Structure 1
């Protein structure tokens, strides 16, 4: 049986692929557990990652066929509630792990697929991408952190509209809402994501960690507490690489920054 999540490393960048193309990369527990294991395994081995979907879509979200089986009278309910929801714990590994993640989007980015994309730090969408949150029409609610992450990106009014009415956003509409920082021609999202990941991987790892872990937490704090948190992090001991980069810049030895191809 092929892996539900593919994993390979190019230099110091992980390429992580959702691999249920015949199901539009719909996510079930088995896929999420494989994704969790891949994220844990990548750990300190890499400096950045690219997340993408095999086939014609990024992800159509929750596997509703498997959910419906669990909801039947014969379905097996868990004996006890899990201390942490599998979706939440897995997506948190991506959002607040120790390496930045660039997400390459195309085709359906729906429901849980949009929640997964919202956990990435940078999103690149090609022109075939479309977004939806159809939970309202399915009799369910978001369960992959969308009420926190996706809502913070697009705001309550837009999220309520998408969930209540089933509204589908085009790639352009999604970009205006912040769902993607980059929009590229069809078929070019993965290449653009790799180019961005290479730039990110060249940064000092400690700085990348602060951008992906400290910065979003500061967003949750009061003004004074946020400034204090910033002060604590700017006062941290800097790795030797940071001093060398500052000296290179001051001595005009640093490379000229260029836009990723």
Structure 2
């Protein structure tokens, strides 16, 4: 269900491969994603996450819905939170290549990635209100921080669908490309990110979203710690020398 391809440049492309289900998320696929991000293979610098069959991910596979009591439902939701935290904070930059359905849990997964690329066919939706349920995979925080509470409430109440251009304006995606070009653009961006200093990438992933949770003084102090850590690294020395010598840096 999860297809993994590795390149010599350290790019791992993960493809959610359930085309007959529009790549809807079942527990088995979620566990495979968790397994990868819990123990990222050595040498992986950047991950590209995508779907197949014309869709990114249509959300939770409701055909495999298991009736749960309140406790089990909460544990299932917290399991999603654990996996998506692994994607966001696993220390490896993740670029998503999106097309077709990015719905419900699919949007929750996408917003756990760091760079998002969408094709014109992409549809962003949180339809939980139409199904009598509420989001459980992190959308309240991740999507809510992008859209703001007011717009997210409207999106959930109405089941509104946003297209790629809408999503670009709102911040749900960072790039819109022509049809069929999302994966190539995502891999191009992944190679660019992979050429950065590994420590800088790691610190940006770990620090920035956490700083958003802090008060001003705590955020500024954390910024100083991150600056101290990166500015005194061997890669910082190489980056400065490369700039002065007008060449591309070669980071460790």
The equivalent residue for 1:100 is 93
CA RMSD of aligned residues (A): 1.9
The answer on 1:53 being equivalent to 2:51 is yes
What TM-score results when the alignment is normalised by the length of structure 2? 0.93
The answer on 1:244 being equivalent to 2:238 is yes
The equivalent residue for 1:5 is 2
Question: Which deviations, in whole Å up to 9, do the C-alpha atoms of 1:100-145 show, x marking residues without a partner?
Answer: 0000000010000001000000000011101100000111111111
- DSSP-derived class of the 1:51 partner: strand
The equivalent residue for 2:165 is 172
Q: Pick which of 107-116 and 230-239 moved more.
A: 230-239
What TM-score results when the alignment is normalised by the length of structure 1? 0.89
CA distance in 2, matches of 1:148, 1:127: 26
Instruction: Sort the Cα spacing of 1:225 and 1:103 in 2 relative to 1 into closer, same or farther, 3 A.
Output: same
Cα distance, 1:66 vs structure 2? 1.5
In structure 1, runs of 5+ residues without a counterpart are 256-261
The equivalent residue for 1:16 is 14
- DSSP-derived class of the 1:15 partner: strand
The equivalent residue for 1:26 is 24
- DSSP-derived class of the 2:96 partner: strand
The answer on 1:160 being equivalent to 2:160 is no
The equivalent residue for 1:118 is 111
CA distance in 1, matches of 2:127, 2:239: 47
Does the Cα contact within 8 Å between 1:99 and 1:209 map onto a contact in 2?
yes
Instruction: Sort the Cα spacing of 1:59 and 1:6 in 2 relative to 1 into closer, same or farther, 3 A.
Output: same
Cα distance, 1:253 vs structure 2? 2.6
Instruction: Sort the Cα spacing of 1:185 and 1:80 in 2 relative to 1 into closer, same or farther, 3 A.
Output: closer
**For residues 94-243 of structure 1, what are the structure 2 equivalents within 5 Å?**
94-236=87-229, 238-243=232-237
Instruction: Sort the Cα spacing of 1:155 and 1:23 in 2 relative to 1 into closer, same or farther, 3 A.
Output: same
CA distance in 2, matches of 1:134, 1:204: 40
Does the Cα contact within 8 Å between 2:77 and 2:136 map onto a contact in 1?
no
Cα distance, 1:254 vs structure 2? 3.3
CA distance in 1, matches of 2:28, 2:76: 18
Cα distance, 1:251 vs structure 2? 2.5
CA distance in 2, matches of 1:76, 1:232: 44
CA distance in 1, matches of 2:77, 2:104: 20
Cα distance, 1:88 vs structure 2? 0.7
Does the Cα contact within 8 Å between 2:77 and 2:137 map onto a contact in 1?
no
Does the Cα contact within 8 Å between 1:48 and 1:100 map onto a contact in 2?
yes
Aligned residue-pair number: 247
CA distance in 2, matches of 1:52, 1:167: 23
In structure 2, runs of 5+ residues without a counterpart are none
CA distance in 1, matches of 2:173, 2:142: 13
CA distance in 1, matches of 2:127, 2:69: 25
CA distance in 2, matches of 1:114, 1:84: 15
**For residues 34-45 of structure 1, what are the structure 2 equivalents within 5 Å?**
34-45=32-43
